[in-house]
Amino acid sequence: MTEPFVHPYIPNTAPESKAAMLAAVGAASVDEFYADVPAELRLDRPLDLPAPFTAEQDLVRHVEGLLGKNVSTRQRLSFLGAGTYHHYVPAVVDEVIGRSEFLTAYAGEPYEDHGRFQALFQYQSLMAELLAMDVVNVPTYDGYQATATALSMAGRMSGRRRILVASDVLPAKLSKVHDFVRVHLDLEFVETIDGVADVAGLVSRLGDDIAAVWVETPSHTGAVEAQLQKISDAAHAAGAVLVVGTDPIGYGVLTPPAEQGADIVCGDIQSLGLHQWFGGAHGGFIAVHDDTKFIMEMPSRLFGLATTDVPGEYGFGDVAYDRTSFAHREEGKEWVGTAAALWGIAAGVYLALMGPQGMRDLGELLLARTRYAQQQLGAIPGIALGDTAVHLREFTIDLSGAGLTAAGLVGALRAEGIEPGVAVGEHLLLVCVTEMTSQADIDRLAAAIASNTDHQTSETISTLEEQSA
């Protein structure tokens, strides 16, 4: 470069400042600071990177140009779920987590970062009301990790290795959980019946070497587990704990698992005030009762209320910090690190805005739209519902009666601007509806599928006719 490289992000690239600082430390050049880096490890050429856009207006044009190639779920009618859900995010949620104070803070102490501690304590507390449990962690990465950790906790507490998996689990989640726990735990699957747990089968497998029973509700296919109390009783009788993986979105109307005996409840908070973000905005919660045995196995930070020198004032701090890898490296429980705090704040704001009535209204709406969608799609000739369980938000339809593959239907409907769902089997399609999916949207999907089954049927017929001709 002939001109000095000065960049708005790096104030001391200003030549006068740089020279003054070099002079102050008595260095001839920046090279001196790298004396410990052996010459043979030094890169002797510039990095081979694309030419930059140092002018902000050029950067914006470039990135907006790229993102402009995306076609979002505002342009497409989407029935996609499978772990990432399209719920409405109130404007106040985005306003709060967009505040520079929250967005750019990190790891300050309870004094200068009082707001962060309180906001996350409140997140814990709001989730606790929704879940009817006394302890919720500062969010871990996502529901996958939360579940993996919850099962590991059960293993560490019991010293047992076996986990009975009672529900259908999202395959990617299962992949993560399996790789995470496999050194310490063995996952054993009890096949589901009609979408939910085979309680009898489960009971028959229980024994004193079972660390935990793992129930997912809603399951991978959106089925709500109705026999939780029975499962819990059986698990407890065998000395196992009940780990429930869930999505908290429905607990305005559904009984929280803790009231049916769950010991650890875990899952993802993406539904609570986070955008879809191409699957890039998840946070994991782990909730337990106020029981030291469980709490001391939690790896995440737990913010708690504390008194201060001023009577009546609330202070905050880390509860039982000595559990953590920050305190004890490999002797801590798993590890703790930068995870998803901002998303936790978002979920807290969301729950505060929604309140009890909002969560109730939403829960009812989701149940109603789900059932309506099941009715409309199930009524199409050749289409059958995957099972008869109660469903929240997601359900499967079986296309085999219409001679359609799920992938084929997805392809056909994409051509009409519809993402009809996720192919989860050759003929099985996982369909998701939320409060963003109106009656008209569902009707449009039903019509589009119906027209494809018609088409398929007539094609089949004409193929048959051709063959017979």
Partner 1 sequence: WDEPIIFELSTPGERGVLVTGIEAGVRDAVGDVVGDLPAGLRRAAPPALPEMGQMRVLKHYLRLSQENLGADFNVDIGQGTCTMKYAPKVNDQLVGTPALTAMHPLQNPADAQGVLEIVWSTERMIAEISGMDEVSLHTQGGSAAIWSNIAMIRAYHEANGEGEQRREVITTIFSHPSNAAAAKAAGYDVITLYPDADGYPDLEALKRALSPRTAAIMVTNPEDTGIYNPAIKDWVDAAHAVGALASYDQANANGILGITRARDAGFDVCHFNLHKTFGTPHGCGGPGAGANGVSAALAPFLPGPRVARESGTDGSTRFVVREAGEQSIGAVAPFFGVIPNIVRAYAWMMALGADGLRAVAEIAVLNNNYLLKKVLEIPGASAPYATGRRRIEQVRYSWQELFEETGITSEEIGVRASDFGMHYWTSHHPYLVPQPFTLEPTESYSMAELDEYAAVLAEIAREARETPDVVRTAPHNQTVHHTHHDDLDDPERWAITWRAYQRKYFGAPVDPAGRVGSAGDRIETGATAAEAAA
Minimum distance of a copy of itself from residue 75's CB (angstroms): 10
Interacting partner of 317 out of partner 1, a copy of itself, none (Cβ under 5 to 8 A depending on kind):
partner 1
Does 334 engage in binding with partner 1 (CB under 8 A)?
yes
**Which positions ≥6 away from 122 have C-beta within 8 Å?**
348, 352
Does 2 engage in binding with partner 1 (CB under 8 A)?
no
Q: Which one of residues 161, 233, 239, 320 is an interface residue with partner 1 (CB under 8 A)?
A: 320
Does 157 engage in binding with partner 1 (CB under 8 A)?
no
User: Do residues 390 and 223 make contact, with C-beta atoms less than 8 angstroms apart?
Assistant: yes
Q: Where in 327-458 does DSSP place strands (E)?
A: 384-385, 394-398, 418-419, 422-423, 428-432
User: Do residues 214 and 240 make contact, with C-beta atoms less than 8 angstroms apart?
Assistant: no
Minimum distance of a copy of itself from residue 343's CB (angstroms): 20
Rounded to 5 degrees, φ, ψ at 84 are: -125, 125
User: Do residues 163 and 188 make contact, with C-beta atoms less than 8 angstroms apart?
Assistant: yes
Does 363 engage in binding with a copy of itself (CB under 8 A)?
no
Is the CB of 152 or the CB of 453 nearer to partner 1? 152
Q: Dihedral sign, CA of 200, 201, 207, 211?
A: negative
- State which of positions 400-459 bind a copy of itself (CB under 8 A): 435-436
Cα 268 to Cα 84, 95, 376: the distances in Å are 9, 22, 29
Nearest to 223, CA basis, from 391, 355, 379:
391
User: Do residues 331 and 301 make contact, with C-beta atoms less than 8 angstroms apart?
Assistant: no
- State which of positions 429-448 bind partner 1 (CB under 8 A): 435, 438-439
How many CB atoms lie under 10 A from the CB of residue 220?
A: 23
- State which of positions 193-212 bind a copy of itself (CB under 8 A): none
Q: Dihedral sign, CA of 198, 363, 273, 61?
A: positive
Please give the structure tokens belonging to residue 229. Answer: 């109390």
User: Do residues 157 and 144 make contact, with C-beta atoms less than 8 angstroms apart?
Assistant: no
Does 318 engage in binding with partner 1 (CB under 8 A)?
yes
Q: Which one of residues 16, 28, 159, 467 is an interface residue with partner 1 (CB under 8 A)?
A: 16
* Count of residues that bind partner 1 according to CB under 8 A: 223
Is the CB of 74 or the CB of 466 nearer to partner 1? 74
- State which of positions 181-210 bind partner 1 (CB under 8 A): 183-184
Q: Which one of residues 33, 34, 88, 277 is an interface residue with a copy of itself (CB under 8 A)?
A: 88
- State which of positions 296-335 bind a copy of itself (CB under 8 A): none
User: Do residues 286 and 266 make contact, with C-beta atoms less than 8 angstroms apart?
Assistant: yes
- State which of positions 45-84 bind a copy of itself (CB under 8 A): 56-57, 60, 64, 74
- State which of positions 93-152 bind partner 1 (CB under 8 A): 94-116, 118-122, 124-126, 128-130, 132-136, 138-139, 141-145, 152
Indicate the DSSP class of residue 9: T
Does 3 engage in binding with partner 1 (CB under 8 A)?
no
Does 3 engage in binding with a copy of itself (CB under 8 A)?
no
> Which residues contribute to the site for a copy of itself (CB under 8 A)?
8, 56-57, 60, 64, 74, 88, 90-91, 95, 100, 353, 435-436
